[in-house]
Amino acid sequence: MPFCSQCGNEVGGADAYCHRCGARQPGASAPRRPGQDPLSQMSGRTASILCYVPGIGWIASIVVLASEKFRSNRDVRFHAFQGLYLFVAWLLDGWVLRPMFSMVPHMPIHSLVELLLLGMSIFMMVKAAHNETYSLPLFGELASRSVAEH
C-alpha cells in the first residue's frame, strides 16, 4: 500500500487525499469540479457516432445538444439534430405504420421502412466515423435549419 507524501500515513491506491492530514496524493486523478462538463474528454467524432445508434441515439443526441463543449461545434450539433429526426422517423414507423399496415396481409411496408431506417443509421455512423457531415434527404434539411436557428 502507498503512503501519504506529507505525513507518511498509509493510504489506498485510489485515494486522492490522505485521511489523516488531508494532503492531495500524487498520481491521483483530479476530482471533477462542480459545473465541469462531463463530456469534456469525449471527441466530437465519438459524440457524432453515438447520435445515430438505433434505439438509444436520441439520448446521446439530447446530451450532446445540452453539453457546453459541443455548443459551438456546428458539425456535432448537426449530427445530433439529424439523429433526433431519424429517431422520430423510427417512432412514426412503429406507432403509425405498424398498426396501420398490420391489418393488410402481405404488405411488408413497415418492415421495408424499418430496414431503410436501419440502413440510414448505419450509413450515418460510418460517415460520422470518417468526420463527414452528410445530409440525409429531409432529415438533413431539418437538421441544418435547427443548427442555423441556434
Q: Where are the domains of the chain?
A: 1-31, 44-149
Query: Which pTM value belongs to this model?
Result: 0.71
Grid look-up 457524432 returns 48
Name which of 13-22, 53-62, 120-129 the model is least confident about. Answer: 13-22
Please tell me the predicted confidence (pLDDT) of residue 6: 82
Mean pLDDT confidence for 106-111: 80
Q: What's the count of helices (H) and strands (E) in the chain, helices before strands?
A: 6, 0
Contact residues for 121 (Cβ-Cβ < 8 A; gap 6+): 52, 53, 54, 57, 86
Question: What DSSP designation does 25 have?
Answer: P
pLDDT at residue 28 greater than cutoff 60: no
Q: How confident is the model at residue 118 (pLDDT cuts 50, 70, 90)?
A: very high
Please tell me the predicted confidence (pLDDT) of residue 37: 64
Mean pLDDT confidence for 37-44: 79
Please tell me the predicted confidence (pLDDT) of residue 84: 96
